[in-house]
Amino acid sequence: MNYWIFTIKTHIFEGKTYTAEDIYNTRMDDTFWAVKKNHTQRKRPSTGDEVVFYFGKPEEVFVGTAVLKSQFKESVKSEKEKYGHGNPFYTPDGGFELGDIDRWQKRKPIEEMIGRLHFIKNKQEFWVHLQGGITEILVKDFEIITQEGIERAKNITYRVKRDANLSNKIKLLYQNKCQICGESIKLKTDSYYSEVHHLQPLGGEHKGRDSEENMIVVCPNHHVEFDYGVIAINPETMESTHKDSNNHFNNKRVIINPKHKLSPKFLKYHIEKIFND
C-alpha cells in the first residue's frame, strides 16, 4: 500500500471560477477522482492506496481522505457523461474510483505541521513539494496529517495509567513546566497540566524502561515533536536539536533540574532510533 496527496486548486475555465471546494465536493459526490490521461503520475497510484486531499493557495489545508478503489483508467463515453455533469470543465479524460471517503469537518492547515512532514525538504517554499497534483508520501507523513489527533487522544488515558507515580514525581520536580519551552498549561481548577515523554519508547520494538532516567517533562506540542522525531536533546551539549533549523527552539539550552537523573544513554537512543530514523 502507498500513500498520496491529491492537490486541488481553484481554476478559471471559460470565464467561470471553480473553487477547490466546488471541485472537491463534486468529485466526492461522484466517488471518482478525475486525472488527465497525459498526467505523468497517473499510473503510479494503485487500488487500495490511501489518499489525503489538499487545497492549494489560498486555503492551504488538508480536507479529507479516501481509498482508491481502482487504478487509473481512461473514461468511456458513459463515464464522461456521468462525471461531466453536462459541463466540459468536469468531463474527465480518466481517473480513479474512490471509496471510504471521509470529508473532515475541521480542516487541517499545513502550516501547523510543515516542520514535522518528512517529504517537505524546503520548509520555506513548501508548496514546491505539492506541485503537479499527485504527490507520494511516507506512511509516517500520512499518519501525521490524518491520525495525530486521534492517536494522541487514545494515548492520553494509557499514558496516565502506566506511569502515574513516576510521572507525577518528575512533573512536580519541574512544576509542570516543559523542559524545552518552559511553558505549562493552567487548567480551570487552578492546577497545571504537562506530559511525560519516554525517550526510549515503552514496549514494542523499543522496549524502553519506565524510569525517571528515561523521562522528560514536556508540553503537548513538544510531546508530539518528540514522538515523531522532529526534536531531540543532544546528550553532550544538553541543547535541543530541531529538524527545522529555523525553529525557535533549535540549539536552545534544555531545562535540567539537578535532582533529575536523566540518562545520556536514553538521549542517545532517541537521537539514533527516532530522530535520525
Domains of the chain: 3-146 (3.10.590.10), 149-275 (no CATH)
Give the tens place of pLDDT for each residue, 7-30.
999 999 999 999 999 999 999 999
DSSP label at residue 208:
B
Helices 164-173 and 148-162 pack at an angle, to 10 degrees, of 100
Task: Find, among 145, 110, 147, the residue nearest to 128 by Cα.
Answer: 110
Q: Is the pLDDT of residue 153 over 60?
A: no
How far is it, in rounded angstroms, from Cα 50 to Cα 69? 10
Of residues 203 and 50, more confidence is placed in 50
Give the tens place of pLDDT for each residue, 159-168.
434 556 788 8
**Whole-model pTM over 0.75:** no
In this prediction, residues 234-252 reach a mean pLDDT of 95
Give the tens place of pLDDT for each residue, 117-134.
889 888 888 888 888 899
DSSP label at residue 190:
S
Q: Which three cell numbers stand for residue 96?
A: 480513479
* Per-chain mean pLDDT for the chain: 88
Return contacts of 225-229, CB within 8 angstroms, 24+ apart.
Answer: 225/115, 225/116, 226/197, 226/199, 226/270, 226/274, 227/197, 228/116, 228/140, 228/144, 229/274, 229/275, 229/276, 229/277
